[in-house]
């Protein structure tokens, strides 16, 4: 038995013993996705876990994802195998700050098209735009969700914004997703200057180069990419949307504009089709921190436990529930 086979054997035995399920985000290492009970995007996985009769949730992803699982499954033990696996974009916005907004922003005047920098907090922005609903991407901390009116995913962001009875919305934290929303709505979008460094690095030149190398391939782009990418793409959608599109499409070749971890499931689901990364370095180091060893250690020691306090969990869940109510 190889070392990897022995690790898998131990993981499966402990999983059964502890009535646990293993969730793996689409961007995880191949070996981690391979042992997961469910693979998908962050919110999709958290909803699956909430509906599953398990005692322990092992979330192979990053910190905010485990928080989402805790928000939706407060009575279950949620474990994050790698406690240092964070999300730089989620860290670009804080719910509150120690600053006095009236002093800090004295004389500040907002103008359309301005994107708020991370020096501002969400509470600061709410003071500057009283009554304007806050639409928060699920790629945020529980504290930020708790200060929001409604959440959104990359798949339903436009629909969520359109559902609100307001001609203005505050969209946080991804400026590229906000730009995509603004492109597809008549409402004014007040945006944040946050971004995913993995998607932000791709440029129009990368699309041109990929198309030259694979002229018959369709370009699928995640809305966290820059607008120049989205305008050139054949289809703009979430990771789950890419999986569905690739499976249902008559095309046989695809250029994938998102984190390279998605290639594992794309190839597994479509063995007769070809997939090429938009850039080979579209890799999230935080997503790749989780390994078979860390999953095993997590199950053996029940670390690291992620528990969102009730005073944060309840309002954060309301923002998620409001999103889920939008048909």
- pLDDT tens-digit series, residues 267-311: 999 999 999 999 999 999 999 999 999 999 999 999 999 999 999
Q: Is residue 282 part of a domain?
A: no
Q: Is residue 49 part of a domain?
A: yes
For residue 32, what pLDDT is reported?
Answer: 98
Same domain, 157 and 140: yes
Residues 210, 256 contacting (CB under 8 angstroms): no
Q: Is residue 271 part of a domain?
A: yes
Work out how many domains the chain is built from and give that number: 3
Same domain, 112 and 80: no
Q: What string of H, E and C letters represents the secondary structure of 278-320?
A: CCCCCCCCCCCCCCHHHHHHHHHHCCCECCCCHHHHHHHHHHH
Q: What is the pTM of this model?
A: 0.93
The one-digit pLDDT tens for each residue of the chain (327 residues) are: 899 999 999 999 999 999 999 999 999 999 999 999 999 988 889 889 889 999 999 999 999 999 999 999 999 999 999 999 999 999 999 999 755 444 456 566 777 778 888 888 999 899 899 999 999 999 999 999 999 999 999 999 999 999 999 999 999 999 999 999 999 999 999 999 999 999 999 999 999 999 999 999 999 999 999 999 999 999 999 999 999 999 999 999 999 999 999 999 999 999 999 999 999 999 999 999 999 999 999 999 999 999 999 999 999 999 999 999 997
Same domain, 151 and 243: no
Pick from 178, 198, 218: which residue ends a domain? 198
Same domain, 264 and 213: yes
Q: Is residue 316 part of a domain?
A: no
Same domain, 220 and 271: yes
* Closest to 233 measured CA to CA, from 271, 273, 183: 183
Cα 171 from Cα 36, distance rounded (Å) = 32
Angle at the Cα of 285 from the Cα atoms of 37 and 207, rounded to 5 degrees:
95
Cα 90 from Cα 22, distance rounded (Å) = 23
* Residue-number span of the structural domain to which 250 is assigned: 202-277
Same domain, 212 and 260: yes
For residue 115, what pLDDT is reported?
Answer: 87
Pick from 145, 176, 198: which residue ends a domain? 198
Same domain, 70 and 100: no
Same domain, 175 and 192: yes
For residue 111, what pLDDT is reported?
Answer: 78
For residue 101, what pLDDT is reported?
Answer: 47
Pick from 198, 223, 249: which residue ends a domain? 198
Residue 103 belongs to domain with CATH number: 3.40.50.10800
Cα 215 from Cα 239, distance rounded (Å) = 23
Angle, helix 3-17 to helix 292-301, in steps of 10 degrees: 30
Same domain, 80 and 95: no
For residue 289, what pLDDT is reported?
Answer: 98
Q: Is residue 54 part of a domain?
A: yes
Q: Is residue 327 part of a domain?
A: no
Cα 268 from Cα 133, distance rounded (Å) = 41
Same domain, 58 and 79: yes
Q: Is residue 325 part of a domain?
A: no
Same domain, 110 and 140: yes
Q: Is residue 15 part of a domain?
A: yes
* Closest to 325 measured CA to CA, from 160, 184, 139, 172: 160
Same domain, 189 and 110: yes
Helix, strand, coil percent content, the chain, rounded in steps of 5: 45, 15, 40
């Amino acid at each position: 038995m190889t070392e990897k086979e022995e690790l898998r054997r131990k993981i499966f035995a402990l999983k059964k013993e502890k009535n646990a399920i293993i969730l793996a985000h689409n961007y995880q290492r191949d070996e981690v996705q391979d042992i997961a009970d469910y693979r998908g995007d962050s919110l999709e996985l958290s909803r699956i876990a909430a509906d599953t009769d398990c005692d322990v949730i092992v979330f192979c992803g990053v910190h905010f994802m485990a928080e989402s699982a805790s928000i939706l499954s407060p009575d279950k033990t949620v474990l994050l195998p790698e406690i240092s696996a964070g999300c730089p974009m989620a860290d670009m916005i804080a719910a509150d700050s120690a600053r006095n907004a009236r002093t800090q922003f004295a004389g500040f005047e907002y103008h359309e098209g301005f994107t708020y920098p991370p020096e501002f907090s969400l509470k600061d922005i709410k003071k500057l735009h009283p009554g304007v609903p806050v639409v928060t991407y699920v790629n945020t901390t529980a504290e930020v969700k708790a200060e929001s009116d409604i959440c959104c995913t990359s798949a339903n962001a436009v629909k969520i914004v359109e559902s609100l009875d307001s001609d203005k919305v505050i969209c946080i934290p991804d400026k590229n997703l906000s730009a995509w929303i603004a492109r597809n709505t008549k409402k004014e979008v007040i945006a944040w200057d946050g971004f995913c460094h993995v998607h932000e690095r791709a440029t129009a030149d990368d699309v041109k180069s990929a198309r030259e190398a694979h002229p018959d391939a369709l370009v699928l782009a995640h809305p966290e990419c820059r607008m120049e990418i989205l305008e050139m793409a054949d289809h703009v959608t979430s990771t789950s949307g890419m999986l569905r599109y690739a499976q249902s499409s008559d095309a046989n070749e695809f250029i994938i504009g998102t984190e390279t971890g998605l290639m594992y499931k794309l190839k597994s689901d479509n063995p007769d089709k070809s997939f090429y990364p938009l850039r080979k370095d579209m890799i999230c180091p935080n997503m790749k921190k989780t390994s078979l060893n860390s999953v095993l250690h997590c199950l053996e020691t029940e670390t690291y436990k992620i528990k969102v306090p009730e005073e944060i969990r309840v309002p954060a869940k309301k923002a998620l529930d409001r999103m889920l109510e939008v048909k």
